[in-house]
Amino acid sequence: MKYVSTRGQVDSVEFTDAVLMGLADDGGLIVPERIPDLSGRLDELRELSYSDLALEIVSAYATDISREDLAALIGKSYGEVFDPAVAPVVRVGDAFILELWHGPTMSFKDVALQLLGNLFEHILSSRGGALNILGATSGDTGSAAICGVRGRKGINIFIMHPQGRISPIQQRQMTTVLDANVHNIAIEGSFDDCQQIMKSLAGDLDFKRAYSLGAVNSVNWARVLAQMVYYFHAAFRVRELTGAEKVRVCVPTGNFGNILAGWYAMRMGAPIERLILATNSNDILSRFFNTGRYSLGEVCQTLAPAMDIQVASNFERYLYYKVGCDPDRLRELMAGFAETGGLEVEVAPGQAVDDAFEAGAADTDELLEAIRACYQEHGYLLDPHTACGLSVAHSLVPAHVGSGRGQSDEGSPLVCIATAHPAKFPEAIKQATGSDLAHHPTIDELMGLPTLCETLPKDQEAVRRFIIETMSQ
């Protein structure tokens, strides 16, 4: 399997090269030259454990790593630090919740970043050299990335987060890690500012090569690849419970990476009828899928901070396919977006932007009501991001009350992806329920630990200097 850039100005590369490159050297995103079709193997795949399923899916893309080595990397990623079920599916009322928070930092990001950390180490051990990871986080990516590479030989990690715009617990999950190879940076700006600094520095090829910069954000193809697995897994588990041949999956998303993995899974043959895209009040993505217009707005702070994003970095990958894999057209659209803050795709009258998607947004009152109602009716706590998803899903696909099968009036069971443990957002839970319910021993222990973090302005040169000075020491 070879990989190309969405912007078409770099030579094709192997999987391991794509992993180390992160952001493509022409400023685009890495995509596979083709999408494998697994639709004829569903009966075989649905019988597999999570790790064995991951091996089948990842090996279709990572063709320059031996199957034996991939099996060992995947076993290490999911067999040592996860709950044995990895990603349980639980029934909550008339929906199913895919719990992706059973990893070490209690976020769905662990599913991909544990594997990515092991991939980095495997590749560097065979090639030699070092890797300096530069990442931006709106909350959970940072702690999961740090957990995935802390203490690893030959790897340093620099993680930027928007100062004061992530939950206090998310911040402490990162800044209480004091390993010598971990460097936290609080940027005086928004997540979009952090992400722009990351992309700008990665786009400076002389700097990127001189300091061996790599990426852990979902611009790294391996992140998206690892996330495809749980879409197959969820559909298979719901079939066991209901007999349904297909599911609808609702995905709370800000950077479009999680739901893009679901879109790839659909293209590979995963039994998914439709993807429901859910945003909070930062609704650039839901507006696009309802209008065909992708246009910037002001970033507003919400109780679902990981979705407080306007520029969704993975949207370029989707747009590449939307324009027929034409890199010239893609570059034209992205240049226009950089200049005007907007772009538009043609949509025929009366047609959807994409039949694979439904989309909606939930404001603060709606996400709080979703948390409150779910707890009162089912005794189940949602984190605010998952609550956005369930709120949007119920507004678009009203459940058939009393069916007992998690099945909507339109026939397909509804699966909502749960992105984080509610204990990471205690203030939102308390505001919704009136009670201090959201706790976890691992998180509670963080509050008394020492922290280390550098505060910098939203200036790429300040971040560049920090990296240079840190590495010189």
Cα distances (angstroms) measured from residue 30 to each of 35, 124, 128, 232: 13, 20, 23, 23
Burial 214-238 (b: 16+ CB within 10 A, else e): bbbbbbbbbbbbbbbbbbbbbbbbb
Per-residue pLDDT tens listing for the chain (473 residues): 999 999 999 999 999 999 999 999 999 999 999 999 999 999 999 999 999 999 999 999 999 999 999 999 999 999 988 988 899 999 999 999 999 999 999 999 999 999 999 999 999 999 988 999 999 998 788 999 999 999 998 999 999 999 998 888 989 999 999 999 999 999 999 999 999 999 999 999 999 999 999 988 889 999 999 999 999 999 999 999 999 999 999 999 999 999 999 999 999 999 999 999 999 999 999 999 999 999 998 889 999 988 999 999 899 999 999 999 999 999 999 999 999 999 999 888 888 999 999 999 999 999 999 999 999 999 999 999 999 999 999 999 754 333 334 444 457 999 999 999 999 999 999 999 999 999 999 888 988 899 999 999 999 999 999 999 999 88
Strands 414-418 and 247-252, sheet pairing: parallel
Domain residue ranges of the chain, discontinuous segments joined by +? 89-105+222-442
Chosen CATH of 89-105+222-442 out of 3.10.450.50, 3.30.950.10, 3.40.50.1100, 3.90.1150.10: 3.40.50.1100
Q: Which residues are catalytic?
A: 109
CA distance 234 to 236: 5
**pTM for the whole structure:** 0.92
